[in-house]
Chains A and B, each alone.
Chain A
């Protein structure tokens, strides 16, 4: 019976090819539009470190201008720390399993080959704990050690692509590389790693590429590398020397702590509050204590990583899908009205209502499946379009099995909603009325 119904469905679509095509196109457009916006939304709001996102906490201290507006929630407090506070926390014994301070900068890579043109690359200056905390996968070598952090050693961890470019993908551990006129020794090469969103630094761009160079924090500070992100100051610097910048109240360092249990999180939070009180004793932090620690997903919310534009587009695209579904309902009603004589005849030959329902459901399902398949194809095109018009979104336009599953689900639900009423109506056709004249 299955093949019979499929055959009848195809024949019936053949009978009104334009009407059938209109329905498929309408459904496909609706599904395509929804899938495009949903994919971007899904990836924007995705969990970049699913297995430990509830153990990694962004740290905020409120040591801002005493004359500025009072702060309420974490969205009001500066998202970054001063260099001083980052240093103090990194060197203290805290209840955290491990902590990492970090900032983004850039360096000029000077290939050994004199003919090769030097190029700029972004670099993340951080601590050895970064790699373990965020589960960064290594191909060659390892993260540097605590000792090397303290020395400010001239060592670097390379990204996979940069290692390909500079060393042809070989194990480059132990080799030297010249960056902005300084020699660094390669200590490790990491594998493909692109948390989306790039949760540990959402201040400037949440969906940018991960840096392809990692160097110890102290090394970067010693070499006076400029932070390439937001630097916010409320108090003038003593002078324009780097030392004055480092001891200033300017915030520019991102700070993370790994807290494996809620108890540890509470203890760490208390620790921060004590730290603030201690600083108040030194004349800093002249505001009410208002510190925050936020696990990854909360941090994404605080920083509005999913843009409101995308949220608006998701809403609008669902309304668009609603119009497409209504459109299909209308066309199906019309179409099935044209099928009334056939339905009447089948009823006269003893077809039950259930049989009529099933037969027409197959037709609707065929349209739904076609709409779904074309819809996914359109979504793919839509994503290419999004990629094209939003630069830097290349990580947001990938389709995975989860998205395909959701697409199929939306396609099925949409076509069932569109088809159920028209199909039900066919079972209510009074046969006698349609048999006399055809």
Chain B
């Protein structure tokens, strides 16, 4: 599904060069649910941005769903993002003056779809996250948890095969966080590959696989596989 080899990303200012990612290698399989953890500044978000084609990288190879991304121009990357990738964010990033329906509509607007098909997809998604009755509400009229559910509905409206979540529960209390997590798990069960950045280890443990990023590199793969084996052993 996702294959990064030897990726490097450097931020340059007049004075210094900072490596956000350094010879980064990662492979994510179809249908996996992966949690990425690491301290702030370790390169988690850069990884996510590169994975979601929001940023380019300086060295290395990245293929998404078999397509070599480094060769694509901005237009092609946008199209690919629209078709294959969904994003959810810590602060939900709903457009404040669009209602829920229009917010979920955003990714659908950028592909050729009839009005009716769009309407069906949007309503289906809102139904799934349990907010169909509030489709004409503005985001500010919802709680944080509800807003994040709308954001998930929006991310999934275009039926992407790959969902990227950046601290999706960071702004939520633990009850809401658990609900959102339940939702993500059920989405994953239906076949969507999920990569979630989090610093909550408890949530991370609910993923199929945990990856820790330290100084722009995946740290100690062995320990991660070990954690996974333990979970299997524990019969989860």
Partners in one complex: yes
A175: interface (CB < 8 Å): no
A226: interface (CB < 8 Å): no
Query: Cβ of B168: which chain A residues have Cβ within 8 Å of it?
Result: none
Distance of B65 from chain A, by nearest CB (Å): 14
Given A15-B97, A431-B54, A437-B91, is A352 in contact with B78 using a C-beta cutoff of 8 Å? yes
Q: How far is the CA of A306 from the CA of B154 in the complex (A)?
A: 63
Q: How far is the CA of A342 from the CA of B82 in the complex (A)?
A: 16
A401: interface (CB < 8 Å): no
Contact present for B54 and A347 (CB under 8 Å)? yes
Contact present for A350 and B93 (CB under 8 Å)? no
Query: Cβ of B74: which chain A residues have Cβ within 8 Å of it?
Result: 352-353
Contact present for A436 and B78 (CB under 8 Å)? no
Query: Cβ of A431: which chain B residues have Cβ within 8 Å of it?
Result: 54
Which parts of A165-183 form the interface with B (CB within 8 Å)? none
Closest chain B residue, CB of each to CB of A7: B102
Contact present for B83 and A350 (CB under 8 Å)? yes
Q: How far is the CA of A4 from the CA of B109 in the complex (A)?
A: 9
Contact present for B93 and A438 (CB under 8 Å)? yes
Contact present for A354 and B75 (CB under 8 Å)? yes
Q: How far is the CA of A431 from the CA of B75 in the complex (A)?
A: 14
Query: Cβ of B107: which chain A residues have Cβ within 8 Å of it?
Result: 349-350
Q: How far is the CA of A352 from the CA of B78 in the complex (A)?
A: 5
Count B-side interface residues using an 8 Å CB cutoff.
Answer: 30
Given A436-B89, A438-B91, 18 extra CB contacts under 8 A:
A12-B97, A14-B97, A345-B106, A346-B110, A348-B81, A349-B107, A349-B110, A350-B81, A350-B111, A350-B158, A351-B106, A353-B74, A353-B75, A355-B78, A435-B89, A436-B91, A436-B166, A438-B93
Q: How far is the CA of A11 from the CA of B154 in the complex (A)?
A: 20
Which parts of B72-98 form the interface with A (CB within 8 Å)? 74-75, 78-83, 85, 87, 89-91, 93, 95, 97-98
- A401-438 vs B, CB cutoff 8 Å, 1 = contact: the mask equals 00000000000000000000000000000111001111
Contact present for B45 and A436 (CB under 8 Å)? yes
Query: Cβ of B111: which chain A residues have Cβ within 8 Å of it?
Result: 350
Query: Cβ of B220: which chain A residues have Cβ within 8 Å of it?
Result: none
Query: Cβ of B93: which chain A residues have Cβ within 8 Å of it?
Result: 341, 345, 435, 438
A1: interface (CB < 8 Å): yes
Given A432-B54, A436-B166, is A342 in contact with B79 using a C-beta cutoff of 8 Å? no
Closest chain B residue, CB of each to CB of A437: B91
Closest chain B residue, CB of each to CB of A436: B45
Contact present for B82 and A350 (CB under 8 Å)? yes
- A120-147 vs B, CB cutoff 8 Å, 1 = contact: the mask equals 0000000000000000000000000000
Residue ranges of A at the interface with B (Cβ–Cβ < 8 Å): 1, 4, 11-12, 14-15, 341-342, 345-355, 430-432, 435-438
Closest chain A residue, CB of each to CB of B167: A436
8 residue pairs from A and B, CB less than 8 Å apart: A345-B95, A348-B54, A348-B81, A349-B82, A349-B110, A351-B78, A435-B166, A438-B89
Q: How far is the CA of A12 from the CA of B96 in the complex (A)?
A: 11
Contact present for B75 and A432 (CB under 8 Å)? no
Closest chain A residue, CB of each to CB of B82: A350
Q: How far is the CA of A15 from the CA of B96 in the complex (A)?
A: 10
Contact present for A348 and B110 (CB under 8 Å)? no
Interface majority SS on A: helix, strand, loop or mixed?
helix
Distance of A345 from chain B, by nearest CB (Å): 5
B38: interface (CB < 8 Å): no
Contact present for A432 and B95 (CB under 8 Å)? no
Distance of A361 from chain B, by nearest CB (Å): 16
Query: Cβ of B43: which chain A residues have Cβ within 8 Å of it?
Result: none
Distance of A428 from chain B, by nearest CB (Å): 10
Contact present for B110 and A350 (CB under 8 Å)? yes
Distance of A427 from chain B, by nearest CB (Å): 9
B87 is contacted by which of A14, A15, A349 (Cβ under 8 Å)?
A349
Closest chain A residue, CB of each to CB of B95: A342
Query: Cβ of A347: which chain B residues have Cβ within 8 Å of it?
Result: 54, 78
Q: How far is the CA of A15 from the CA of B95 in the complex (A)?
A: 11
Q: How far is the CA of A385 from the CA of B117 in the complex (A)?
A: 56
Given A346-B106, A350-B110, A438-B93, is A432 in contact with B83 using a C-beta cutoff of 8 Å? no
B216: interface (CB < 8 Å): no
Q: State the 8 A-B residue pairs at the shortest beta-carbon distance, nearest first.
A: A350-B82, A349-B107, A352-B78, A432-B49, A350-B81, A432-B54, A348-B87, A438-B91
B79 is contacted by which of A14, A352, A435, A436 (Cβ under 8 Å)?
A352
Q: How far is the CA of A332 from the CA of B54 in the complex (A)?
A: 25
Query: Cβ of B80: which chain A residues have Cβ within 8 Å of it?
Result: 350
Query: Cβ of B54: which chain A residues have Cβ within 8 Å of it?
Result: 347-348, 431-432, 435
Contact present for B82 and A11 (CB under 8 Å)? no
Contact present for B106 and A349 (CB under 8 Å)? yes
Given A1-B109, A437-B91, is A350 in contact with B79 using a C-beta cutoff of 8 Å? yes
Closest chain A residue, CB of each to CB of B108: A349
B145: interface (CB < 8 Å): no
Q: How far is the CA of A3 from the CA of B55 in the complex (A)?
A: 31
Query: Cβ of B87: which chain A residues have Cβ within 8 Å of it?
Result: 348-349, 435
Distance of B142 from chain A, by nearest CB (Å): 15
Distance of A242 from chain B, by nearest CB (Å): 83
Query: Cβ of A430: which chain B residues have Cβ within 8 Å of it?
Result: 55
Query: Cβ of B106: which chain A residues have Cβ within 8 Å of it?
Result: 345-346, 349, 351
Q: How far is the CA of A167 from the CA of B91 in the complex (A)?
A: 83
Contact present for B78 and A350 (CB under 8 Å)? yes
Query: Cβ of B89: which chain A residues have Cβ within 8 Å of it?
Result: 435-436, 438
Query: Cβ of B91: which chain A residues have Cβ within 8 Å of it?
Result: 436-438
Query: Cβ of B81: which chain A residues have Cβ within 8 Å of it?
Result: 348-350
Contact present for A349 and B154 (CB under 8 Å)? yes
Q: How far is the CA of A14 from the CA of B98 in the complex (A)?
A: 12
